[in-house]
Amino acid sequence: MFMLVNYVILLWFTFIFIYLTTSLAKTDYSAYDCGNPSNRLNYTADSKFKTNLDTTLSKLPTTNNGFGFYNLSTGQGIDRVYSVALCRGDINPDTCLSCVKDAIVNVRKACPNNIYVTAYYDHCSLTFNNDTLLGNNTIDRYNYRSGAQNMTNVALFNQALRSLLDKLKADASTGGSLRKFASGNTPGPDFTTIYALMQCTPDLSKQECNVCLDEIINMIPRYIPGKVRGRILVPMCNFQYDITWFFNESTPLVIPPPSSPQGMDVHF
């Protein structure tokens, strides 16, 4: 009897442990795009491309431009490797660096031998391939995620979200050649506050950044319609929004005064 009780308790604790670890793990986002599934480009173990990729990825973490953007290209001609990594604009340098380093290790396991690869995480993304990356806002891949929960007042929510994203788009795209990031919040329907951040890699021009962000904003109705939280990511730009606060502000949150219904509060 005593043994049985112990066994049940042990089972119970095992269950709790598994439950906790799996539910915690869900907050850590990771997604891998290893290339076009119907024509996945591969390198071979003895190729020059592989040697260049090893060199490039080992040095990439040393190329931080000071604002969480990393870029490095090595090699010549068809063996040239292009790589970039971008940290979310609000995270601290230590978190950023460890995200990029983990990405480099994990991406080689998730996409072994693949040439055209992007990995997305909560705090950073990493892309490498054998084609020009910098200043190229052609979107040929995307990733999205949303919460299951729907907004009750979809039309008003979309209106508020849309104007927040348009404002953040303007601020992010004019951010300059080192950093193109903006975050902010706006009142939504039903006493909600919508929080969002937006970002482009800083190598994009203002115009290219605008185009990139417009394209992913236009994917909202298709991929994350009426959701209380969501994100859409491509290698060169991304956004994320939620009705709970999820990013570190560089300045204290200011609640917009009631006298300005269009009021929006934007931080860099």
Ligand X SMILES: *[C@@H]1O[C@H](CO)[C@@H](O)[C@H](O)[C@H]1NC(C)=O
b/e 205-237 (16+ beta carbons within 10 angstroms → b): ebebbbbbbebbbeebeebbebbbbbbbbbbbb
Dist. CA 165–CA 184, nearest whole Å: 9
What residue has token string 């994917």?
219
Q: Is 41 in the site for ligand X (CB under 6 A)?
A: yes
Q: Is 132 in the site for ligand X (CB under 6 A)?
A: yes
> Minimal distance in Å, beta carbon 252 to ligand X?
13
Q: Is 40 in the site for ligand X (CB under 6 A)?
A: yes
Choose, by CB under 6 A, the member of 52, 56, 71, 186 that binds ligand X: 71
- The residue sitting closest to ligand X, measured at its beta carbon, is 132
Q: Is 39 in the site for ligand X (CB under 6 A)?
A: yes
CA-wise closest residue to 106 among 98, 48, 88:
98
Query: Among 10-18, 64-72, 154-162, 237-245, which window interacts with ligand X (CB under 6 A)?
Result: 64-72
- Give 12 or 59: the residue with its C-beta nearer to ligand X: 59
Q: Write the CA distances from 66 to 70, 89, 92, 95, 190, integer angstroms.
A: 9, 11, 11, 14, 40
Choose, by CB under 6 A, the member of 100, 115, 126, 194 that binds ligand X: 115
> Minimal distance in Å, beta carbon 102 to ligand X?
14
Dist. CA 106–CA 103, nearest whole Å: 5
> Minimal distance in Å, beta carbon 5 to ligand X?
39
Q: Is 140 in the site for ligand X (CB under 6 A)?
A: yes
Query: Among 50-58, 123-131, 154-162, 190-198, which window interacts with ligand X (CB under 6 A)?
Result: 123-131
CA-wise closest residue to 247 among 66, 91, 130:
91
Q: Is 92 in the site for ligand X (CB under 6 A)?
A: yes
Q: Is 200 in the site for ligand X (CB under 6 A)?
A: no
Residues touching ligand X, count (CB under 6 A) = 25
Q: Which of residues 238-257 bind ligand X (CB under 6 A)?
A: 248
Q: Is 106 in the site for ligand X (CB under 6 A)?
A: no
- Give 62 or 260: the residue with its C-beta nearer to ligand X: 62
Alpha helix (H) residue ranges in the chain? 2-25, 48-59, 93-110, 154-173, 206-217, 220-223
158: Cβ contacts below 8 Å, ≥ 6 apart: 151, 220, 226
Q: Is 163 in the site for ligand X (CB under 6 A)?
A: no
- Give 55 or 95: the residue with its C-beta nearer to ligand X: 95
Q: Write the CA distances from 26 to 30, 31, 93, integer angstroms.
A: 9, 12, 24
Query: Among 18-26, 135-143, 157-165, 182-190, which window interacts with ligand X (CB under 6 A)?
Result: 135-143
Q: Contact residues for ligand X (CB under 6 A)?
A: 39-42, 65, 69, 71, 78, 91-92, 95, 115, 123, 130-132, 136, 138, 140, 148-150, 202-203, 248
